[in-house]
Amino acid sequence: MILSFFDQFMSPTHLGIPLIALALSLPWILIPTPTNRWLNNRLLTLQAWFINRFTQQLMLPINLGGHKWAMLLTALMLLLITLNLLGLLPYTFTPTTQLSLNMGFAVPLWLATVVIGMRNQPTAALGHLLPEGTPVPLIPVLIIIETISLFIRPLALGVRLTANLTAGHLLIQLIATAAFVLLPMMPTVAILTSVVLFLLTLLEVAVAMIQAYVFVLLLSLYLQENV
């Protein structure tokens, strides 16, 4: 029983071929694309409004030099939200529960922000490793601590997204299994458990969107430090 709970996090394969690439590419088909018409429908208008508002809020504290990242971060936000929400559907696979995929998103983008900082303003980038006014005996220790915290950032990004989604999926499956088992024995308790399951599903929808936003927001903060 314990192993079956974690089977949902295994990457699906068909004839020995991993289907994670298919799971990553199909969500883009569901996103409506703009048309050449003068007036768009309500869905396209709502999508354009959401993208514009999100991009404005994300780029507000960043200098003009960092606005080149607007399209990349917005596309990453849409991809993560779509993958997280589609993963809540029955009999689906959530690629963002894989730590390797999340680290594949986090490490290159974090490294790009560090390289940009070292190239554009190396003094300020290295200055983050040593807070101003530090006593001389604590300088070596603080440099080591700040360097470790700098390299932990991409790990924290990937682990945070993976852990939150994995915990939510496990809770949903555990409560759904409990409701199914209790239905013939204690129908009233099973109904109450189903209500809890419904509320938890709504919570997981919010978590799926919030975690995607937090992932991109932290990347924008790292970019802000180095631009």
| For the chain, domain boundaries | 2-226
Tokens of 169: 């999926």
Walk along the chain (227 residues) and give the pLDDT tens digit of each residue: 454 666 666 777 766 777 777 777 777 777 777 777 777 788 888 888 888 998 998 888 888 888 889 999 999 998 999 989 988 888 888 888 888 889 999 999 999 999 998 888 888 777 777 777 778 787 888 888 888 988 999 999 999 999 999 999 889 988 988 888 888 888 898 899 999 999 999 999 999 999 999 999 999 999 988 87
